[in-house]
């Protein structure tokens, strides 16, 4: 019983770390990577679809992405979708290929991004602490139902606290890596 609660908590905390990594991947440094375009949507025959469904997105060099729509008449719509996205990018069209240069980050913008990263990390810590609370609640209900002794409940809470500390340390490590990446010029 105690092991299943602990395994469930560990699984959910691991998912919180993965969600944090996924969110941080969206926050760009000065380098171009295709995941930057993941949340850009294009109007395609009356419905909004992700850009990857209407075009191929590739990295040309460290500071440039190339977007090649599969249909010639989609070039303008894709370019407009990139411009209207919240990424602050200015695409340039050359025939059927759209080049998207990545502007260099200013010091001020880097500091803003660090604040965003810290906020995301705090959200992950809160999620992990909420998982700890849920697990401790399950232990308390087992104690109340008399299917668990007080010693086992205390032991379980200690183990869950150790697990929580381990995953919070992992969040701090991921945060430090991203901050270092953002502040590198």
pLDDT in tens, 145-182: 988 888 999 999 999 999 999 999 999 999 999 888 88
Helices (H), the chain: 2-26, 75-84, 107-144, 150-183
- CA 20 to CA 39: how far, in whole Å? 16
Instruction: Judge residue 150's burial from the number of C-beta atoms within 10 Å of its C-beta, 0-12 exposed, 13-18 middle, 19 or more buried.
Output: exposed
pLDDT of the residue at 167? 95
Q: What is the signed CA dihedral for 172, 177, 182, 184, rounded to 10 degrees?
A: 130
DSSP code at position 51 = G
The secondary element (H helix, E strand) that includes residue 99 is strand 97-101
Of 7, 19, 10, nearest in space to 171 by CA? 19
The secondary element (H helix, E strand) that includes residue 47 is strand 47-50
Which tens digit of pLDDT belongs to each residue from 94-107? 888 988 888 777 78
Average pLDDT of the segment spanning 61-84: 86
pLDDT beyond 70 at 86: no
pLDDT of the residue at 39? 76
Residue 8: C-alpha distances to residues 2, 20, 52, 108, 126 (Å): 10, 19, 34, 41, 17
Q: What is the signed CA dihedral for 14, 160, 1, 133, rounded to 10 degrees?
A: -90
DSSP code at position 67 = E
pTM for the full predicted model: 0.68
CATH topology for 34-101 is Gyrase A; domain 2 (3.30.1360)
Confidence tier at 122 by pLDDT (50, 70, 90): very high
Of 132, 182, 129, nearest in space to 160 by CA? 132
CATH 1.10.132.20 in the chain, residue ranges: 2-26+106-183
End-to-end CA distance of the chain: 51
CATH topology for 2-26+106-183 is Topoisomerase I; Chain A, domain 4 (1.10.132)
3-class secondary structure, 61 = strand
CATH 3.30.1360.40 in the chain, residue ranges: 34-101
């Amino acid at each position: 019983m105690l092991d299943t609660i602990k395994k469930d908590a560990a699984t959910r905390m691991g998912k919180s770390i993965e969600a944090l990594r996924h969110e941080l991947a969206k926050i760009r440094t000065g380098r171009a990577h295709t995941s930057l375009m993941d949340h850009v949507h294009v109007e395609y025959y009356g419905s909004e679809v992700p850009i990857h469904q209407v075009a191929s997105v590739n990295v040309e060099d460290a500071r440039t992405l190339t977007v090649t729509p599969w249909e010639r008449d989609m070039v303008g719509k894709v370019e407009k979708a990139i411009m209207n996205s919240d990424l602050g990018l200015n695409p340039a069209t050359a025939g059927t290929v759209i080049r998207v240069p990545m502007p260099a980050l200013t010091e001020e913008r880097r500091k803003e991004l660090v604040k965003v990263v810290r906020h995301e990390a705090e959200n992950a810590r809160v999620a992990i602490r909420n998982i700890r609370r849920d697990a401790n609640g399950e232990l308390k209900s087992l104690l109340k139902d008399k299917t668990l002794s007080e010693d086992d409940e205390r032991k379980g809470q200690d183990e869950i606290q150790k697990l929580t500390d381990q995953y919070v340390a992992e969040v701090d490590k991921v945060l430090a890596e991203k901050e270092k990446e953002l502040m590198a010029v």
